[in-house]
Structure 1
């Protein structure tokens, strides 16, 4: 499973930079049903739990109006919930999230809609409970490497306003730029503050990809949204995405300063790329981490 391979390797490579240097003020959050806090020391976003694995000692039945009224937990277990243990706090958070995260769902979600729902649920949780804890929110997959110090240096020079930062492309329908979801994207705190309340109600057509769906959600609900932007003080190649079958370029990850030009991205190097996505193997994540230590 990915949580035990790529996610684990992220924690052991660039995740260690965040863990060992608290001055960076970077946290990792996993949109996963697994208890990543216990497994990796980094928390998972509540709301993705597998209901089939829920505590069998507790059962709930719902009235026709959807309210919950029957709780078969024992008096002893109810009393124990007052104890501020890790498990009890996690259960309390799960119930709180269930009460506040109301996402209307169609009977069946497409693959694209499921991907977008994962993003909106995670962002909505961060909006509800951690908006004041962070200035920027980076969304990436677990097959991505991040040069944290360089990323934070660029963000420190980024002016505070509603921003979506990433690798831009044009949405032909809205004529607004969206950010490629392959290499990920960054929402500023100011932008998440505006769109946060609307996230549960954003769901596009089944065929719309996650990145375009997010752009349209922002376009429809954030009046100040101007589309996806590059880093204003960057080179335009900070968000690097290579196809997994691009063996020629991936083979050169151990030569971070080597200049490449493939006709599409223009000139770029691994050393100058802040986000490197489409990683083909955990060995590549290790190589990027080693190269990052050198550069």
Structure 2
């Protein structure tokens, strides 16, 4: 029995090694040197404590990516440590450069500030060279005709921005529902970018909630996101991105309204401690 399990593990390990090699080959990356230098060619102040960095490879070789993927960015901190962090590519595939949007993490209740996000906000300017990994991630935009429901909170808007950018270029006819919640307009990153590209879509419905400010306009509401009275197509594909408690609550609400669990995708950066398909639809 032990020999049989050894064979299973060996075959599984070989499969993973082969898949890793394939990904490195597709990206033109040396597996012994997975980090590739990218230069910041543009920096945009998106919102309070949120910036976008447009990155181009120093060697001119573009990293191919699919809409919805992320990259890791590694920086050398003042204490001598080297720290990587993952950031969604907030622009569509096919562009000559990668755009990442970084929220500055400020510590509270005794927790320290985010080391890498703080470093990037203070040091990443046009001309700065950063080490960037090959793109990865499986929260990918498909090419079906199903309606899309894109639900985000805070900096979770980054994959939504990439998806809307892609649809505006390739599939403006695909029905899209955009739901986002933020603290206030001043913290709402990429809002102008998403609105501009959404205007190019033929069938789009958008609604925003601000939890700490008064609402203005028919498409803006105050308080927490509430989808109870919002029209939702039962056969839509749903993308969730935001803090884990937010996604758990929204997923529970969607399942309660009849959206099949397998049609709900989500993105968690770091260890995923939430099962892909919880036993019940409750948050």
Asked if TM exceeds 0.5, the reply is no
- Of Structure 1 and Structure 2, which has the larger fraction of its residues in strand? 2
TM-score (normalised: structure 2): 0.27
- Of Structure 1 and Structure 2, which has the larger fraction of its residues in helix? 1
TM-score (normalised: structure 1): 0.26
